[in-house]
């Protein structure tokens, strides 16, 4: 199988590059005067439309870990991995209704700012450092590494060269600020969806040809017939992939902790909407929710089709890595089968996904460092022009660090998507606990938040190493442990996240009840300051309500059909 791009492929990619870069330069030049403001540079305050917010959310979220990692998970475990996409659609609506009005009414611009305003500076500083480490060491590295792996597979270019090229392309967009990121993401999403659908079309058509027929519908039906075990959303305990998606946990357990923490308490995501009005932010999240519903067609279905083709003897050898089938290679192998021109489009789609995600992540790193660490603690009197310059320097440094350390983290051994979910899960339960308690319980104190921050992380680490110290086979009968590759009974990380979240919530309640009450809204006190939250915050327009009910109805139908 030839790993090269032809002239027509490069031409298609060049058109994509020129469109994105040219549009980004136009936006930057048009709004250059406003870019001197740190809030405009980092948040694009008041200028992103609902469709730009929604597109930017998806472009920043869908990256190499989805295009490559989730497609690989589709190859390995099937449609069940789509829960990360479909339940995200529901989560976006919950965030739009309950989280956004709290942020916007209280003029929250960064997540550490919320923690400092609601609890105290210690909690905010600890979490700012946590987020910076997580974004650089886990997210930036995995996006760069997996993206470069895919581009190397379809172009033959050196892996390190691919990483540096992706980083440079992302820097071109990121250094223009959130406004440039937000509006270029609209174009990125167009190429991402178009190229992704082309790849899905090819994969299903190949399946139909493998069995002597033609057509995408026949290909889909044949895929369901020959990979029927790959079309279940809820995995049973005897499924070998149960440890990654433990049954009903995806509907009533730790999956919600993962989703609500990611979509509602994550600077990288919420930053897109924090500079908008509440109606605009909500409509943007609703638009993103509809886009999320179609993502499994692009990122999961090709992986399942590749599984069927592999079972029939097609490109089995191309999927081997160190003598074993590497599911993360399924998507790049499919891309190599695209005809000339279409391969360039798919190449552009993959690059769009990676670059948009890198740009958004790098901007969030710069936002947290400059506004929550540098300006607050290192140089409080810094002017607006210099704070923007510092932010740009941080972006370059973060990208350089990610390039240097990415090859040494073993991202390719664990599976890209699972790598990110697993290690993000060490901090997600504590983060979500202190956010949700800070929103909706005025009694929650700063000491309780500190417990959730440090105690939640410590509890996650303890449960991670616990199988090495004791036999957890007794939990297997309840579905809360499973043999891992090392032959030890391990608690599935989603169950672990749910358990740690409960631990953090109980701990926060007890510590808060035993401590001093926080000051009322607008006050000041060592135990924290309660937020101004009113029931009227959560009223929605009739149009938003109709859209939300449509999303929930479609989700219910999907789970009934593919249970």
Does 293 fall in a domain?
yes
Does 558 fall in a domain?
no
* Domain shared by 405 and 258, yes or no: yes
Structure tokens at 110: 């960064």
Asked whether 64 and 142 are in contact (CB, 8 A), the reply is yes
Per the prediction, the chain carries an average pLDDT of 80
Element (H, E) at 483: strand 482-483
Does 312 fall in a domain?
yes
Rounded average pLDDT over 21-36:
64
Res. 355 pLDDT band, cuts 50 70 90: confident
- Given a cut of 50, whether residue 85 has pLDDT beyond it is yes
> Quick one: DSSP state of residue 516?
P
How many residues are given for the chain?
Answer: 563
What pLDDT is stored for residue 386 in this prediction? 83
DSSP percent split of the chain into helix, strand, coil, nearest 5: 75, 0, 25
Residues 6+ apart with CB under 8 A from 168: none
* Domain shared by 416 and 435, yes or no: no
- Nearest CA to 484 among 499, 470, 467? 467
Domain span holding position 453 = 425-532
Inter-CA distances, 322 with 177, 313, 317, 413, Å: 42, 19, 11, 11
Task: Give residue-wise pLDDT tens across range 463-522.
Answer: 888 877 777 776 666 666 666 666 677 778 888 888 899 999 999 999 999 988 887 776
Structure tokens at 269: 């995501």
* Domain shared by 361 and 451, yes or no: no
Tally Cβ neighbours within 10 Å of residue 137. 16
- Nearest CA to 507 among 441, 433, 425? 433
* Domain shared by 299 and 280, yes or no: yes
* Domain shared by 213 and 351, yes or no: yes
DSSP track, 159-222: HHHHHHHHHHHHHHHHTT-HHHHHHHHHHHHHHHHHHHHHHHHHHHHHHHHHTT--SHHHHHHH
- Say how far residue 43 (Cα) sits from the centre of its chain: 19
Does 557 fall in a domain?
no
**Which of residues 421, 443, 470 is at a domain's end?**
421
Does 332 fall in a domain?
yes
Mean pLDDT is lowest, of 250-259, 296-305, 373-382, for: 373-382
Does 34 fall in a domain?
no
Does 556 fall in a domain?
no
CATH code, 48: 1.20.1730.10
Most confident range (mean pLDDT) of 92-101, 332-341, 364-373, 470-479 is 92-101
Rounded average pLDDT over 193-222:
85
Q: Are strands 320-321 and 489-490 parallel, antiparallel or unpaired?
A: unpaired
* Domain shared by 231 and 317, yes or no: yes
Cα dihedral 122, 135, 363, 73 in deg (nearest 10):
-140
**What is the Cα–Cα distance from 527 to 508, expressed in whole angstroms?**
13
* Domain shared by 301 and 182, yes or no: yes
* Domain shared by 406 and 450, yes or no: no
Count: domains in the chain: 2
Beta strands in 272-361 (DSSP E): 320-321, 324-325
- Partners of 324 in beta bridges: 321
Which SS3 state, helix, strand or coil, does residue 375 take?
Answer: helix
* Domain shared by 371 and 514, yes or no: no
* Domain shared by 272 and 169, yes or no: yes
Rounded average pLDDT over 9-32:
75
Measured in degrees and rounded to the nearest 5, phi and psi for residue 248 equal: -70, -5
What pLDDT is stored for residue 33 in this prediction? 47
Rounded average pLDDT over 195-208:
85
**Which of residues 405, 421, 437 is at a domain's end?**
421
**What is the Cα–Cα distance from 453 to 429, expressed in whole angstroms?**
9
Residue predicted with more confidence, 204 or 316: 204
Does 144 fall in a domain?
yes
**Which of residues 378, 406, 421 is at a domain's end?**
421
* Domain shared by 334 and 439, yes or no: no
Of all residues in the chain, the percent with pLDDT exceeding 70 is: 84
* Domain shared by 263 and 202, yes or no: yes
What pLDDT is stored for residue 479 in this prediction? 63
């Amino acid at each position: 199988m030839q790993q090269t791009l032809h002239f027509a492929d490069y031409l298609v990619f060049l058109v994509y590059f020129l469109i994105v870069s040219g549009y980004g330069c136009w936006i930057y030049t048009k709004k250059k005067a406003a870019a001197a403001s740190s809030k405009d540079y980092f948040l694009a305050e008041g200028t992103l439309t609902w469709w730009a917010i929604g597109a930017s959310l998806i472009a920043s979220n869908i990256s190499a870990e989805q295009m490559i990692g989730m497609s690989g998970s589709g190859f390995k475990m099937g449609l069940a991995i789509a829960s990360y996409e479909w339940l995200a659609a529901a989560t976006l609506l919950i965030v739009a209704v309950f989280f956004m009005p709290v942020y916007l009414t209280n003029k929250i611009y960064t997540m550490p700012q919320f923690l400092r305003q609601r609890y105290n500076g210690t909690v905010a500083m600890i979490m700012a450092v946590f987020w910076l480490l997580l974004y650089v060491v886990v997210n930036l590295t995995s996006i760069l590494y997996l993206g470069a792996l895919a581009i190397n597979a379809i172009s033959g270019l050196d892996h390190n060269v691919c990483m540096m090229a992706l980083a440079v392309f992302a820097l071109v967009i990121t250094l223009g600020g959130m406004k440039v990121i937000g509006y270029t993401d609209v174009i990125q999403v167009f190429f991402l969806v178009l190229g992704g659908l082309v790849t899905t079309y090819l994969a299903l058509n190949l399946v139909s040809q493998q069995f002597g027929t033609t057509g995408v519908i026949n290909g889909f039906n044949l895929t369901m017939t020959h990979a029927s075990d790959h079309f279940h959303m809820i995995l049973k305990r005897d499924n070998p992939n149960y440890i990654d998606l433990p049954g009903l946990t995806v509907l009533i357990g730790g999956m919600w902790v993962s989703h609500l923490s990611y979509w509602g308490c994550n600077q990288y995501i919420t930053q897109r909407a924090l500079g908008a009005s509440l109606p605009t932010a909500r409509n943007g999240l609703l638009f993103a929710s509809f886009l999320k519903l179609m993502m499994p067609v692009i990122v999961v279905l090709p992986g399942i089709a590749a599984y069927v083709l592999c079972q029939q003897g097609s490109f089995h050898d191309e999927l081997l890595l160190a003598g074993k089938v590497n599911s993360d290679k399924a998507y790049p192998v499919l891309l190599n089968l695209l005809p000339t021109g279409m391969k360039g489009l798919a190449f552009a789609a993959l690059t769009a996904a990676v670059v948009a995600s890198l740009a958004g992540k790098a901007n969030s790193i710069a936002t947290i460092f400059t506004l929550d660490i540098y300006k607050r603690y290192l140089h409080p009197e810094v002017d607006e022009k210099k704070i923007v310059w510092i932010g740009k320097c941080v972006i370059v440094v973060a990208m350089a660090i990610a390039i240097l350390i990415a090859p040494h983290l073993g991202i390719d051994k664990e599976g890209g998507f699972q790598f990110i979910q697993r290690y993000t899960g060490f901090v997600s339960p504590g983060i979500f606990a202190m956010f949700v308690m800070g929103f909706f319980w005025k009694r929650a104190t700063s000491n309780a938040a500190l417990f959730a921050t440090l105690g939640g992380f410590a509890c996650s680490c303890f449960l991670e190493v616990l199988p090495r110290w004791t036999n957890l086979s007794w939990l297997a009968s309840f579905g809360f442990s499973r043999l891992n590759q090392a032959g030890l009974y391990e608690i599935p990380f989603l169950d672990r996240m749910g358990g740690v979240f409960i631990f953090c919530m109980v701990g926060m309640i007890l510590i808060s009840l035993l401590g001093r009450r926080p000051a009322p809204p607008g006050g000041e006190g060592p135990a924290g300051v309660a937020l101004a939250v009113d029931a009227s915050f959560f009223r929605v327009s009739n149009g938003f309500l109709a859209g939300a009910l449509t999303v929930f109805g479609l989700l219910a139908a999907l789970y009934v059909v593919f249970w």
